[in-house]
Chains A and B, each alone.
Chain A
Amino acid sequence: MIQTPTIDWFALMPVLVLLGAGAVSLLGAVLVPAGVRRPFSFFVTGLGFAAAFGYAATLFSESEHGETIVAGAMRRDRWYAFAALIICGAGFLATLVSWGERPRGDEHVGEYFALLSTAAAGMIFLAGASNLMTIFLGLEWFSIALYILCAVSAERPAALEAGLKYLVVGSFGSAMLLFGSALVYGATGELELARIASTAGAGDRLAVAGLALILVGLGFKASAAPFHMWTPDVYEGAPTAVTAFMSAATKTAALVLAYRVLQTAFPQEHGFWTATIGAIAVASLAVGNLAALVQRDLKRLLAYSSISHAGFMLIPIAAATQLGGRALLFYLVPYSAMSIGAFAVVAARERELGRAVDLDSLSGMGWERPFLGISLWVFMLGFAGLPLTGGFVGKFYAFSAAYDAGMIWLVIAGVVATALSLYYYLGVIRALYMRLGPELRPAAVGGSPPRETLLHVAVGAALVVTVGSFFAVQPLIELARDAATALPF
């Protein structure tokens, strides 16, 4: 008879709730009459994210001491719970933005929401994974859901291109990760992260090669340079609500997991991976910022900005200290909010104009749509790391962590990158406020669609988090500190 492991169902609840919500939406796609299908699946998904958020919060408070659960497949600790909180929050906001997203009218709306919650479940699963098998499982799980979501508006060639590109490049990344896992397993005979650390000798070439390939695989998901090539096309082609979700949640899952893998399984290769991560961070900062300088399309601009932010968030990972762990988790909170908020504003403008949004089509928007304009302004300042937004505190912590770990060159790279980034972030504000609409006549023919309350709520919430995380640093950083103690620094 096969021994079944004891399962800590409570620790899995955020994942299970979201899977449940996905299943109900999917059933709704068949059983619920077409007229109420959108409200039904919207409601179920929103409720699922809210419930998962609640479970994650409880999990956070009740997982003071990390433990390995489900026969070594997962870790129940605050690191996992914190990531789950961010992903659930991001998912909830993305759901609000998705209400008005009508890639194919009301067709397949149930499937859309089901895929959204399934993808989030996979990301949360990934954040808690502590075994090379479950890591691969989680990665594929959310990736497959996202491949479909990207291509969901199948009548648009750009969407199909995005989906296909993501599928091909993403699969390549997954294959890298799988290959790396195989090499690590070959070197150590272990799958569980903590055991890899105790088995592997320092300088084992096979294990280092495996580690390098795992880094490549995670680099693809976090869209860090030089593994970023898919990002602008996919972000541009995917429905904007999906882009918003991906930019926040995928990065969170990939970066949080990367830190866990590196700290738990490869402390003996510390010197190798801190230098590598530092180099990837610098490359991402350089590529993201330089390429963003010449973008006109707003979604592409934000895509390159997200690449550069992957670079910023890799800085605290390279630091490999308690402070670095704290810095990463803190950074993720305002970053996720700003990213979802910015894409939500893009979505609003896109739906208003009925076409892709570039810098010219923003002109005058700041005055016509004061709330969205101010919000986008704040998000841009946050991305640029100016004070009165959490983005400033996040950068400050990231730089502090790098300096604390003796990596002053990362501080300098980060400062130079920030200076460069100002050009295009301020360019967006310039487009919003300093050019008048009539100059370029971007307004929609036949009047604007009605204001979307839910989208505005999402933007408002993102705004509150972005600004709030500047003022309420202390409570947030205490949570991040509690979460960071879960990793063996």
Chain B
Amino acid sequence: MSSEWLTTMLVLLPVGGGLAVWLFPWTRYQAGSLAVLIALVEVGLWVETALAFDFDNPRLQLSQRHEWFSDLGVSYHVGLYGWSLWLTGATVVVMAAAIAYAFWAGRERPRAYFGLMLFLTGAIAGVFVAQDLLVFYAFFEAMLIPLYALVGVWGGAGRIGATLKFVIYTMAGSLLMLAAIVVFGLQQGTFDLVDSGTSNSVWLFLGFLAAFAVKAPLFPLHGWLPDAYRESSPEVAAVLSGIVSKAAVFGLLRIVLAKFPEPVSDLRVLVLAFASAGLVYGSLVAFRAPDLRGVVAYSSLSQMGLITLGLFSGTTLGLNGAILHSVSHALVSTSLFLLAGAIERRAATGELAFLGGMARGRPALATVLLAVGVIALAVPGSSAFAGEFLILAGVFDVGWWWAAIGAGAIVLAAMYTLRLISAVLHVAPGPRVTESALDLRPAELGIIVPLLGVLLALSAWPNGISAHSFAGDFAGAKQVQASP
């Protein structure tokens, strides 16, 4: 296989696999194991892509381009930068874990479920490799289709309200983006992200920003978040908070920052202010949230605020930190949601008031939750710490007070994470925690331990991402911004 097909294959393999899972009359067991297999092959494909990738080259690589409709200058154009390669990597790992978890937990109508999960994998990978605005929009919206069904069909009791809110929020943002895409593309004469120049229209900037701010979500556009994260199954919540939110990171970096340098610098303070507000607000609500998923959901809101701080700092350090933190948050958030799912299975509730004392007699659960939690609260030496440190160092150049807010929020993160850990593991056994509630099973460990392993590897070598996202230097970051 020639190397320029690798990028396209990252999209086609899961989509084709999803169709195969859905169309053929597999049994429950076959459908699940086939889906896991395809997800693992996808991880292997990503590794092959990463090996074919030259991290010293700041330009678009492994790109492929075909005319789609020429009269408006739209083409199927995909390719990878160092940083988008990392986001894709987070996607394939998280999706593999989510699919494996769903297989283990058992879902009704498995063929449709796994078909949709694989289709979602392809759509998210598509978002991260798109280099044409319309291709990007197509994948961005295509993510919504499986998510709508995954939350709406397999979600909890309040699923219908949750999906409705989720779809209305995201589509309102997306349609503003569509209008902005039409105007931007026709002004530029091309919809290609590499060929098009920059624009200084504040309106277009806001159109794109709105879409990504909803998707991330950024304060104050997070209204859909608590319901969607609570009502969906744990693995779908993991995917939503872990990687669907990173589609916003891609959009902010590849479109907003790269194509609107003037509006970005004019409105930088405004965006930073909202990001900091979200960072603090999310942390405070996470600290007060009554249930597991609430804590993880609002911590996700707060971490997305932090990532946005890094992106809009406009410095190499901030950008590198944002990418590193995106990957590390994807893994942390996924692990936490899957663990929340495991705990909910045992206690039949996620209310913290009914939990407690689960560490006694359940060493595996206690160890894994503690390890993930320690990384989540950014203990020095962890990948989250490295990411946050880079972001704060980057945003310090814009103004020390931003870094001060960020540092304060890290303290808050420690507070809500420790509250979560102690409410689940320590204190007296909760009313819903029975003696018979099992420790993590080998299958669950088999899913979460590899995630933890990747996190530990990143903690040991954060440079792997932060120095290999923009070809190492600021010139590389600039190159993305000025679009080579």
Contacts and interface: CB of A to CB of B under 8 A. Distances in A.
B52 interface: no
Interface string A311-339: 00000000000010010000000000000
B153 interface: yes
Nearest to B187: A403
Contacts of B186: 400, 403-404
Interface stretch (A121-129, A213-221, A385-393): A385-393
A474 B142 contact: no
A396 B134 CA distance: 9
A429 interface: yes
Given A415-B176, A419-B172, A474 B68 contact: yes
B71 A477 contact: yes
B183 interface: yes
Nearest to B154: A434
Contacts of B50: none
- Which of the listed residues A387, A400, A418, A430 has the most CB atoms from chain B within 10 Å of its own CB? A387
Contacts of B160: 430, 434
A473 B178 CA distance: 18
B153 to A, nearest CB: 5
A381 interface: yes
A399 B186 CA distance: 11
A36 interface: no
Contact of B153 (A408, A416, A433): A433
A385 B160 CA distance: 22
A122 to B, nearest CB: 33
B5 interface: no
Contacts of B137: 387
Interface stretch (B83-91, B144-152, B327-335, B364-372): B144-152
Contact of B175 (A415, A474, A481): A415
B444 interface: no
A430 B148 CA distance: 9
Interface in B149-191: 149, 152-153, 159-160, 163-164, 167-168, 171-172, 175-176, 178-179, 182-183, 185-186
B401 interface: no
Nearest to B75: A474
B168 A422 contact: yes
A169 B261 CA distance: 56
Contact of A400 (B70, B72, B109, B142): B72
Contacts of B435: none
A388 B138 CA distance: 7
Interface residues of B, number: 36
A408 B172 CA distance: 18
Contact of B182 (A392, A411, A419, A429): A411
Contact of B141 (A386, A415, A474): A386
A473 B141 contact: no
Interface string A417-449: 011001100100110011000000000000000
Interface string A372-392: 000000000100001110001
B357 to A, nearest CB: 37
Nearest to A414: B179
A433 B163 CA distance: 13
A415 B168 CA distance: 13
A396 B159 CA distance: 31
A303 B182 CA distance: 29
B24 interface: no
A367 interface: yes
A385 to B, nearest CB: 8
B179 A474 contact: no
Contacts of A429: 148-149
A412 interface: yes
Contact of A381 (B70, B139, B145): B145
A422 B134 CA distance: 20
Nearest to A412: B179
Interface string B414-449: 000000000000000000000000000000000000
Given A392-B138, A419-B171, A422-B168, A433 B179 contact: no
Contacts of B183: 403, 408, 411
A379 to B, nearest CB: 13
A415 B179 contact: yes
A426 B167 contact: yes
A416 B67 CA distance: 30
A392 B175 CA distance: 11
Given A411-B182, A415-B176, A474 B70 contact: yes
B161 to A, nearest CB: 11
Contact of A399 (B71, B145, B182): B182
Contacts of A481: 71
A367 B69 contact: no
A399 B179 CA distance: 8
Nearest to B177: A415
Contact of B152 (A388, A408, A433): A433
A481 B69 CA distance: 12
Contacts of A323: 71
Contacts of A403: 182-183, 186
B148 A400 contact: no
Contacts of B153: 433-434
Contacts of A423: 164, 168
Contacts of B167: 422, 426
B179 A477 contact: no
A273 to B, nearest CB: 23
A423 B148 CA distance: 13
A426 B71 CA distance: 32
Given A392-B138, A400-B182, A386 B145 contact: yes
Nearest to B171: A422
Contacts of A408: 183
A21 to B, nearest CB: 36
Nearest to B135: A387
Nearest to B176: A415
A411 B68 contact: no
A428 to B, nearest CB: 12
A477 to B, nearest CB: 5
Contacts of A388: 138, 142, 145
Contacts of B69: 393, 473-474, 477
Contacts of A400: 72, 182, 185-186
Contacts of A399: 178-179, 182
Interface of A: 323, 326, 367, 381, 386-388, 392-393, 396-397, 399-400, 403-404, 408, 411-412, 415-416, 418-419, 422-423, 426, 429-430, 433-434, 473-474, 477, 481
16 contacts: A326-B71, A387-B137, A388-B138, A392-B138, A396-B178, A396-B182, A400-B186, A408-B183, A412-B179, A419-B171, A429-B148, A429-B149, A433-B149, A434-B160, A473-B74, A474-B69
Q: Lowest 8 CB-CB distances: which A-B pairs, in order? A: A387-B138, A473-B69, A387-B141, A415-B175, A434-B152, A399-B182, A415-B179, A419-B175
Given A393-B69, A416-B175, A477-B69, 16 more contacts: A367-B109, A387-B137, A387-B142, A392-B141, A400-B72, A400-B185, A400-B186, A403-B183, A404-B186, A411-B183, A415-B176, A430-B163, A433-B149, A434-B159, A473-B74, A474-B68
